[in-house]
Structure 1
């Protein structure tokens, strides 16, 4: 690879990083402003919706039905964003999000992260998939202490899968319960573009349970 080709590749990578980070911010703005067309256009035309459905029209129908029934208003605050590239046109990411929801008489706060897959199609980056992983959701005046921290009004509390993508969480607490330290050698730093995969260590994806 020539020096000029390497420079062009690096510029493309920087532009792609910014475009992917913009995706997360655009997702939050479109969701909070209830612009369903802007929101669904962040996904490719053949987006899988679930229940055997595909396409932006079906995704828009789901968006409008879900948010009109559940929330009077929302605000999504984007935190840290880690992006690893699989190749020039495919990437994956972890995005932290702190959210607020007006839902009837209760004000529900939420902490979560998204596990994303991104794809560049005809020069534009899209979400290929967003998997939400929740730590807690609870009324502003009710701290989510204890188990089953997903506590929506009118629903039974449930586990939100926040820690289930990465095996280190369970391993850490298993060692603590056993009263043993970690005497294994410190691992080598993750290879470039492999930070998320290194932390996952082949761990399977949790089953999605969607609340935005």
Structure 2
């Protein structure tokens, strides 16, 4: 293999590891799994979730149980991903669609957000993790009251996703491991 081919191979391996990091973030957030999220950030990483939080990512993760408590459904979907890598440093602009069904004092509402993550990643000790993540909202659609109906006869008998260890994925998979509370 030539030096150029070897460099390209390492570039694509690094890019794939970063893509897996991004996907694991969505999985951990949707399952309300703070310990899985904690493993994705460097200990000195920053997180900027706007009005919800701005500061050290570990402090944000500590506050997540409170922030996520009213979230009956979280469903993050990654769409367009642009990543640039320079050695052990990388940046990503990650487009997302994030659905939230949140309980409120007058009943549940649906919030669909189209946005982006502005990410900075660092590879330390051979492992890519978030060094800084900022959340940008491009648009939002709110349905009040919620239009989600998990009792409709059309989905009778379906497996229904849930936050935490009650999600069907915890018992279905052998290879895809989950943190347990």
TM-score bin (small chain): 0.5 to 0.7
Give how far 1:39 is off: 0.8
SS of match in other structure, 2:35: helix
CA separation in 2, counterparts of 1:75 and 1:64? 16
- Segments of 4+ in structure 1 off by > 6 A? 50-53
**Within 2, Cα distance between the matches of 1:11 and 1:112?**
31
Match of 2:79 in 1: 79
Q: Aligned residues, how many?
A: 137
- Separation in 1 of the partners of 2:112 and 2:54? 32
Deviations 1:179-211 (A, max 9, x none): xxxxxxxxxxxxxxxxxxxxxxxxxxxxxxxxx
- Measured in 2, the distance between the counterparts of 1:55 and 1:114 equals 14
Shift of 1:12: 0.9
Alignment-derived partner of residue 204 in structure 1: none
Deviation at residue 67 of structure 1 after TM alignment: 1.4
**2:96 paired with 1:97:** yes
1:78–1:97 CA contact under 8 A, matched in 2: yes
1:125 paired to 2:128: yes
Gaps of 5+ in 2: 146-181
Q: Which residue of structure 2 lines up, in the alignment, with residue 116 of structure 1?
A: 119
Show structure 1 runs of 5+ residues with no match. Answer: 143-212
* More RCO (CA 8 Å, sep 6+): 2
Residue 7 of structure 1, aligned match among 5, 8, 11:
5
- Within 2, Cα distance between the matches of 1:91 and 1:17? 9
Partner of 1:16: 14
Once the two structures are superposed, residues 20-75 of structure 1 have per-residue CA deviations (whole angstroms, 9 ceiling, x without a partner) of: 1111111100000011111121100222368996473x33212222212x422210
- CA contact under 8 A between 2:74 and 2:101: conserved in structure 1? yes
SS for the counterpart of 1:119 is strand
TM-score (norm 2): 0.68
Listed one character per residue, the Cα deviations across residues 146-189 of structure 1 (whole Å, up to 9, x for unaligned) are xxxxxxxxxxxxxxxxxxxxxxxxxxxxxxxxxxxxxxxxxxxx
Match of 1:28 in 2: 26
Q: Is the 8 A contact 1:40 1:59 kept in 2?
A: no
Larger Rg: 1
Measured in 1, the distance between the counterparts of 2:143 and 2:12 equals 39
Equivalent runs, 1:167-182 vs 2, <5 Å: none
For residue 119 of structure 2, give the secondary structure of its aligned residue in structure 1. Answer: strand
Deviation, 1:4, is 3.4
State TM-score, norm by structure 1.
0.58
